[in-house]
Amino acid sequence: MSIIDYSQKIPNNVDLSSDRTLQRALELWQPNFLSWWGDMGPEGSHQHDVYLRTAVSAEPSGWAHFDYVKMPDYRWGIFLAPQEVDRKIHFGEHLSKPVWQEVPGEYRANLRRIIVTQGDTEPASVEQQRHLGQTAPSLYDLRNLFQINVEEGRHLWAMVYLLHRYFGRDGREEADALLQRRSGQENNPRILGAFNERTPDWLAFFMFTYFTDRDGKFQLCALAESSFDPLARTTKFMLTEEAHHMFVGDTGLSRVVRRTAQLMKQSPHEDVRAAGGIPLEIIQKYINFWFSYSLDLFGGEISSNSADFFAAGLKGRFKEQDQYTDHIAAEGSFVMEVVEGGKLASREVPLRNALNEVLRTEYVKDCGKGLARWNKALADEGVIARLYLPNIRFHRHVGEYAGHHFDLDGNLIARDEFEQRQNEWLPTLEDREYVRSLMHPVTEPGKIANWIAPPASGIKGKPFEFEYVRL
Ligand SMILES: [Fe+2]
Ligand SMILES: [Fe+2]
């Protein structure tokens, strides 16, 4: 099961040819996917030869093969992590029973909704990033963008396979709808807020891959615990691909910060703008914006859905198996700050109803690691200023804090004050225009734009000067 069969129209390791009906249905969906890719995939990429990785096996050891691929010829396929023998449900009300290989009727609607919501983010991000190839700071970065784009396309395949295989006719309809919604489109937008935000410049792209893809990591980790085994196996394999996306964001931001620090030191009065770099204040405002939008993706702090999903065994906690001992979580509580009578007050919430917040707390911890690395780049270059994460209450649009106003430290403030000060905290139109003014494509191997430092190493042992994209 684990070797991927590339002789078929749809590469897969799920023995697709043994189920003719399913195979035919997916082969009918395939041209629609390709036409979506043609319309909404990376602009101007269709003639490029790109040094890409393709999955050749779903085994953790040596799963990827690197070579030049013409972008539209990338082989999107269906790859599930190997099945664990005798896997048992390890949390919720069905603890210790065998995992499900088919969808239990009572959970069908919820599972479908989980899969559709996850699936929708994948093409959304490709749509959000489709113009970025026109302004890549180097061929190395251009290649990374395209790698992420093709893999998000593959993640869509991963979810569409589940919909077709396990949800019959409504699954097929949902799969079609995934190709019809469009990021940012008013009458038929993508499901989640952050996936309708524009990603118009490379600073936003690195923020997206650091903060928003990281939400993806935590959602996928929670689903990799699922009692619905095909979902667990699918998301497990997606996580191996996802790691690179976050690496691109993390190292991308490190490189931007390092370059900014260098320009601060080089220019009199630390005037980064005059030197053609991105000032630290703008980087901080982008962090404030993308971090807050990505926090919203975890859903409300107090959520009966999260309780239901956990009790049913559909969605676990982060590292449920390794990190917790009480896998029922029916007792215990979680204390969080909520707004009550115009003030912040502590409220104790039953643990299961606070699981979105539990997952979000893990996420925040993980986000902090990047900040430490970027601040180290500042320290290395002799700059005293530091970057930080705003308080989780700042600039939220979902959950307990939505509709209230907070400063960067999480103090409740009046709307007026927020409106007066938001230009200090969030990117202004002018900030965005300035960043955009720096975005010029650099397409010569070994060359890089002035606003970002080169990476410490290349891809797959190749040097930075390697011709990662043949234009
Ligand atoms: Fe993805
Ligand atoms: Fe991703």
Q: What is the pLDDT of residues 111-137, one digit of tens each?
A: 999 999 999 999 999 999 999 999 999
Two tokens at 408? 């960067």
443-461, pLDDT tens digit by residue? 999 999 999 999 999 999 9
Tell me the helices (H) and strands (E) count for the chain, helix number first: 13, 7
What pLDDT score was predicted for residue 1? 46
CA of 55 to the centre of ligand 1 (A): 15
Ligand that lies nearest to the alpha carbon of residue 152, given by its number in the listed order: 1
179-196, pLDDT tens digit by residue? 999 999 999 999 998 899
CA of 107 to the centre of ligand 1 (A): 24
What pLDDT score was predicted for residue 2? 61
> Beta 49-55 vs 469-470: how paired, if at all?
antiparallel
Q: Give the C-alpha separation, 246 to 162, whole Å.
A: 25
428-436 contacts: CB < 8 A, separation 24 or more? Answer: 428/285, 431/282, 431/285, 432/200, 432/201, 434/273, 434/282, 435/201, 435/203, 435/204, 435/278, 435/282, 436/200, 436/201
What is the percent of the chain where pLDDT is above 70?
A: 99
Give all strands (DSSP E) within 25-95, no chain letters: 49-55, 64-70
Question: What's at 351, amino acid-wise?
Answer: L
CA of 242 to the centre of ligand 2 (A): 5
Question: What's at 79, amino acid-wise?
Answer: F
CA of 236 to the centre of ligand 2 (A): 13
330-366, pLDDT tens digit by residue? 999 999 999 999 999 999 999 999 999 999 999 999 9
In the chain, what is the straight-line distance between the N-terminal and C-terminal CA atoms, in Å? 37
Mean per-residue pLDDT for 71-79? Answer: 93
What is the percent of the chain where pLDDT is above 90?
A: 93
Q: Give the C-alpha separation, 148 to 403, whole Å.
A: 34
Question: What's at 233, amino acid-wise?
Answer: R
4-58, pLDDT tens digit by residue? 888 899 999 999 999 999 999 999 999 999 999 999 999 989 899 999 999 888 8
Q: Are 53 and 151 in contact (CB under 8 A)?
A: no
5 vs 426 pLDDT, higher one: 426
Band of pLDDT at residue 463, cut at 50, 70 and 90: very high
Ligand that lies nearest to the alpha carbon of residue 157, given by its number in the listed order: 1
Band of pLDDT at residue 436, cut at 50, 70 and 90: very high
CA of 94 to the centre of ligand 1 (A): 29
